Structure 1
């Protein structure tokens, strides 16, 4: 079957195959914390990296709805690799978000034909990179605290402010160049394989013609340009959801195979799978997870329609409603996932806390990345919409 003949179900099945390979040694790889070159190779060989790429260049031509599901499947087995893939999809779409038609065509042909993997040095909480003009070139300089995908990326998305102006300029550059130094200093309790350390940018040159969305050195804004934040917030939501699904599946498997019934409760059972409190606990967690999945899928279908529609058609109202829906999905998934990540220990038993089982990695992964931006502000966005009917204004986090 050729890439263009694959259906969404085929791509999800391909992701499940990769996930099965990742799951075999997920605990050991998390401990080693080594750069995930082999893991990204698996993604490339399965065609998942070019899932959104144009069919005429060998890409899958799939929708964002499928990309979100694929991200989730990978994250079930390994939250770090799910994050890497989800971020890649957003950066691969960056040209479509802000660039001209000619720039979009060039970037999509480049990454699809070469099966390139994206990283990004675009952390809004740091000072912006400085961009200066040098004739027909732009020169980027500065430092970013986070650059997810760093060493495993082929291309890096840069963002900076043109010196003396307030103009933000995005550009896509080769990762492997002297002016980009990745510092390999990501050392957090979770999402350990995401290569999210800091980066220093020194005299990285880009032709003015490659400044995304600029025509005659002037940017032409559209509401569509602001979809980068809702799109990546739903990337977060989907790999969080995958982590939660993986946690529940691991807990269920452990209980079926290893958990012993409690012999001092006065209503003794032959098997832990007959224990009332265990059945009650898993029933509650599964119901909450199904609800979170349904809300996330609703958000995925809604934003996918917009992302694949003509860019000029998007209105601020539709964009705002999408942001609220995604904020609702994100908060539900975080709270459900963190509950699952801790509750499974009560349902699996004391021996499940042994390091060799690695059940703690699910909570660590979700807890680490869910601090990316305060979930309280997502609840507030939903509350303001529900109570006052007000839509959130676009920001770097909304």
Structure 2
């Protein structure tokens, strides 16, 4: 079945950055600065691109030119070999300018390192070499609430059939992570496959209010085959899960890791909204002439100063919390990647609750700030041409991914009962 042709941005518009951003950054601060440089490019026309809603092929090319797709990979294959706390800060910087591209970067970094967490050491090495040496972008057809992607075994191959309602970044990816349940079992399998093949058919139906450039629409999977050796964390000879890989708390770190990806692009979007609104207020917002304490400038009005100060304080506190959680998770990876079975359930649970705290706060503060900035910019700031609305639309869209009320409940049980969260697809 031929794939539909959809409007897409032109990668050639960013071709000059391929040479400009060579070689790769070397230090952690250099990597974060590179993310800021990418954000500066994206900010120039972010509102226009959001409204045009074209498939982000150019934006993915820009990420490739920047080297950010390689940030977490081993140096021996050409990667940056940075820890996750640096990756989170890079995601945040990109999301300040464009929430969609910050989200795509975050998901790529997660999916490109999934083998580190749920795969064998050999699978992790092979995956890194493939992705980094080719500068591949990785999407994911992973949505555990959908149970309609089935896996069957056919000799030395796995066969995927079914669909996923959500599939982030797949349309513009080189590789796609597939996830489903092996027939006759309740066991899930992750595997990376080439995206450009007849059996992967995208619905091109992502027409949501926010994160419009993430290509998060549906996908049909029709007889997609991959060797059993690509089943992450499974023994290809016995066709059984490797208990030394999947049977330890380390494998369940994948879920807190992606939850903190979410929180960091929420935080980046919220900070970006405040910075964008501040520029608008200083240049365009008019003072209110009927308040009885009239000012010559909007930036002298008490309520505007008070709101900006309050938003800034809450975002600064949220950023400190997110950084601390990122450091704690990165420390677990540094300590246990080469000795996975020694990570305890208690250590995993504690870091999961740090990350749950970040999820609650970034959701609450992010929605409050991206909604509240309209109160201090004025009615004219609602113009689509201004583009201030995209920040709220982006956060509102993704914070519905998994209900934050359950994170609050989880934290309540942790505080009152000292109960560690049971690892799930969302915990």
Pairing partner for 1:377 from 382, 386, 406:
406
Distance, in Å, in 1 between the alignment partners of 2:148 and 2:114 is: 18
Match of 2:360?
A: 331
Match of 1:241?
A: 267
* 2:218 maps to 1:198: yes
1:88–1:117 contact (8 Å) kept in structure 2: yes
Distance, in Å, in 1 between the alignment partners of 2:285 and 2:179 is: 51
1:4–1:55 contact (8 Å) kept in structure 2: no
Q: How does 1:15-164 map to 2 (within 5 A)?
A: 15-164=35-184
Pairing partner for 1:322 from 351, 369, 386:
351
Name the SS for the 1:392 alignment partner.
coil
Match of 1:308?
A: 334
Distance, in Å, in 2 between the alignment partners of 1:170 and 1:17 is: 34
Match of 2:191?
A: 171
Distance, in Å, in 2 between the alignment partners of 1:160 and 1:84 is: 22
Distance, in Å, in 2 between the alignment partners of 1:128 and 1:226 is: 23
Provide the alpha-carbon RMSD of the alignment. 1.2
Distance, in Å, in 2 between the alignment partners of 1:354 and 1:167 is: 49
Match of 1:276?
A: 302
1:132–1:139 contact (8 Å) kept in structure 2: yes
CA deviation digits over 1:115-155, x for unaligned, max 9?
A: 00101111011114211111111111111000000111101
Match of 2:377?
A: 348
Worse overlay, 63-72 or 204-213:
204-213
Match of 2:312?
A: 286
Distance, in Å, in 1 between the alignment partners of 2:341 and 2:360 is: 30
1:182–1:200 contact (8 Å) kept in structure 2: yes
Q: CA deviation at 1:2?
A: 7.4
Distance, in Å, in 2 between the alignment partners of 1:308 and 1:184 is: 39
Q: CA deviation at 1:289?
A: 0.8
Distance, in Å, in 2 between the alignment partners of 1:175 and 1:396 is: 24
Name the SS for the 2:158 alignment partner.
strand
The 3 A distance-change label for structure 1 pair 363 and 224 is same
1:4–1:61 contact (8 Å) kept in structure 2: no
Distance, in Å, in 2 between the alignment partners of 1:240 and 1:63 is: 20
CA deviation digits over 1:205-231, x for unaligned, max 9?
A: 111112111123221222111111100
The 3 A distance-change label for structure 1 pair 37 and 52 is same
Match of 1:264?
A: 290
Distance, in Å, in 1 between the alignment partners of 2:196 and 2:223 is: 14
Q: CA deviation at 1:304?
A: 1.0
The 3 A distance-change label for structure 1 pair 67 and 113 is same
Q: CA deviation at 1:351?
A: 1.4
Q: How does 1:348-367 map to 2 (within 5 A)?
A: 348-367=377-396
Equivalenced residue count is 398
Name the SS for the 1:131 alignment partner.
strand
Q: CA deviation at 1:56?
A: 0.8
TM-score normalised according to structure 1 size: 0.98
Match of 2:12?
A: none
Q: CA deviation at 1:309?
A: 2.6
Name the SS for the 1:309 alignment partner.
helix
Name the SS for the 1:308 alignment partner.
helix
1:159–1:171 contact (8 Å) kept in structure 2: yes
Distance, in Å, in 2 between the alignment partners of 1:303 and 1:3 is: 28
Distance, in Å, in 2 between the alignment partners of 1:28 and 1:48 is: 24
5+ unaligned residues in a row in structure 1: which ranges? none
Q: CA deviation at 1:263?
A: 1.7
Worse overlay, 212-221 or 224-233:
212-221
1:3–1:59 contact (8 Å) kept in structure 2: no
Match of 2:17?
A: none
Q: CA deviation at 1:273?
A: 0.9
Pairing partner for 2:240 from 218, 231, 241:
218
Match of 2:280?
A: 254
1:296–1:329 contact (8 Å) kept in structure 2: yes
* 2:43 maps to 1:14: no
Pairing partner for 2:258 from 225, 232, 241:
232
The 3 A distance-change label for structure 1 pair 306 and 128 is farther
TM-score normalised according to structure 2 size: 0.91
CA deviation digits over 1:185-238, x for unaligned, max 9?
A: 111000000000101111111111121111232212221111111000000000
